Structure 1
Amino acid sequence: MFEQILFFFDALLQQTGAANFSFGNLVMIAIGGAMIYLAIAKHYEPLLLIGIGFSCIVANVPGPPDVPGGPPVSALLYVVKEGGLFHYAYEGVAKLIIPPLIFLGVGAMTDFGPMIANPKLVILGAGAHLGIFVALILAKLCGFTINEAGAIGIIGGADGPMAIFVTVKLAPHLLGPISVAAYSYMALMPMIQPPVMKLLTTPEERKMGMAQLRKVSKLEKIAFPAVIAIIVNLFFPPVAPLITMLMLGNLLKEVGVTDRLAKTAAGPLMNIIIIILTVAIGSTMAADKFLTWDTILIVVLGLLAFLFGTASGVITAKIMNLFLKDKINPLIGSAGIASVPIAARVSHIVANQANPHNHLIFHAMGPNLAGVFGTAISGGIMLALLGVQ
């Protein structure tokens, strides 16, 4: 009788996921929990980390075998596999539907005034992209193909939609780990960037104030998206879909007669896309796929790309100060990577810690917005050189 009871409970247990936990599952659940903790306790981009962290946890809760006698399958698979809700969410990412819509929303939320007012800071948007090429070279030396190395390198641009776009074109099989690395590091920039920024600047440099920016006219703000869209479509067609949608969103914001559309793109539409995107990304973080040597290497290379990009931006600003009459605070150089407005906010916070009267957010937005175009140009060059349309 006792043996029959044990047999019954064992058979019942095998139909659940409780008997199939692995150490890898526990590691990934801890990572997902850490993301949620950082979002709540440290306010590190909660809009990104909550969805990614939660989906990472659920993706690593093993369920029963999909077929009798087969390996355990994550319960999340039942909504991720074909026909499931998040299957179509991930397809929206993989088929490059979600990234242009993200750019539409970002454009509708963005004021390009700081970049227009001080165009010389566009140089910082180029200078902060050394990390892309450092990671590309290192990835190639580590044995990745040139296409894979290019996709890994673009993580250093700190532009999630652009990283997805370029990866789908160059190395779609790496979309999961690259998108996870790109968005996770973007969210963790308040932790990653400050040590590099402080290492490369003196206390006096961090305290440095900057003159108020000139007022940008409404005509300039309306003309800007049209001009940029023409230039990008002429010279960088591989990445034109993203920048075109960015400029459309910005035009909806600036013209003053499409407020409903601008508010929808920047608000409800963007919120829906963020939920879909973060869950789609987090659902790729199953231990059996994520805890591999290649994935770990991609994550490490992505971190190096962010560190080198931050450092090269600060150093570029210091070099510019050798030639400028009106000096700039070198901290805004780190905002030259494309994560808008996270990188600009980090520059402002570090400067404000050194000098409570220092408010660099608007100055930092100039190179930060230029970084979007810097990443787009870098991605466009890669796609063009590798013959990808």
Structure 2
Amino acid sequence: MLRNQRLITVPLDQNQLRERNRALSVLLQLSNYLSTRTNLEDLLGGALELVMEQLGVNAGRLYMAAPDEDCYHLVVHRGLSPEGLETVPAGVGFTSKAARTRSFLAMRVEDLDDTDRVALLSSKGFKLVICLPLITRDQVIGVMNLSAEDIIPLEMASIDLVMVMGNLVATTAESVLQAQALSEQARQMAEQKEAVQFFAYTACHDMKSPATGVHGLARMLAQRAGHNLDEKGRAIITQIEKAAQRIEDLAQEVNAYIRVKEAPLNLSEVSLKEVLDEVAGEMAERLEKQGVVLELPAEEVVLKVDQGALVRAVTNLVDNALKYGGPGLSKVRVLHRQDEGFHVLQVSDDGVGVTEDLVEKCFTLFKRADTSQGTEGTGLGLAIVREIARRHGGKAWLETSQPKGACFCFSLSRDLPLNSTKS
């Protein structure tokens, strides 16, 4: 066609297409209709009308398969009362034959095998019935039944066209059903998530209150009657106090983890120096008690972050170093650098370091090193850091190139918009 022409221009005009190729025009019309529908009943109703118009029939019914019930259920109908036609059993009858053979079927009403169906359709004035299976991905998901008051001519071109139309309808209907199923799953998951969150908050609150009471009672017992107990009795009281304190800490950390995971981020421009000074102030007493120096970066940097979350992340990493750095720990160092699109914060120490088996697992919930036995902790501190980094578009990791001690890092995206939430 292009042999003697430099350019061929054919505008997509539906009226012109109808004049040139009516069948393709009908398919385009159906495709445009299906692409705008997300409600199954609305989609099937409009599609049924287009097929009826194409074949020139008076009435139609569209059934969807119900495999669990071994039948087909009426979803939409046009041009007749559906009374007595609401359900079609699978395996018998004209409709089931069309589905079973995956074939377009047309037959005079008077020639149907089902005498009851003949009487019913005849009483409604119909002389011709047509069954069109709706097939997608080699599965019959429904059947379109059409009825005419007169015997109409059926050409092969028309039959081929409505079979393709049936395939388009089936494919779109399946997509809508899948979308509805996904939407329902999402709704159920949201409900479950809310229920789990409510349970976690409630359980932690209910757990913390008696633990606080036990802690206070054990301390009171030690103060009032400790002098009457032997060494073993006083040791038991101490163990009770520690156990109660651990339950309190765990409840507090679980609530903290839920908050950093679920609460909206309050993003603003934050001075890194102010954040680190706040952390240093909170940790000053422990640092002095353990004889550890905290080194902070001197440069002034402004980050777009949730300030409370950033304070929490850095505090957790410094706390982690103080808890697990060992007796030789003397220095904890915080560094900042910028990579492509990210702020990276690094908290390193000169302590005992992290064993190889924990390199990939240390940010896992409730995961603690075997060497941490006897050291207070909940196993949630690093998991909270990882979650804060994730919600800021970054990640958390353990740097393994440091020859001594441990070096934990987390990144924060530099592209987060202010005053937004990110989940």
Give the TM-score band, short-chain normalised.
under 0.3
Comparing both structures, which one devotes a greater share of its residues to strand?
A: 2
Structure-1-length-normalised TM-score: 0.22
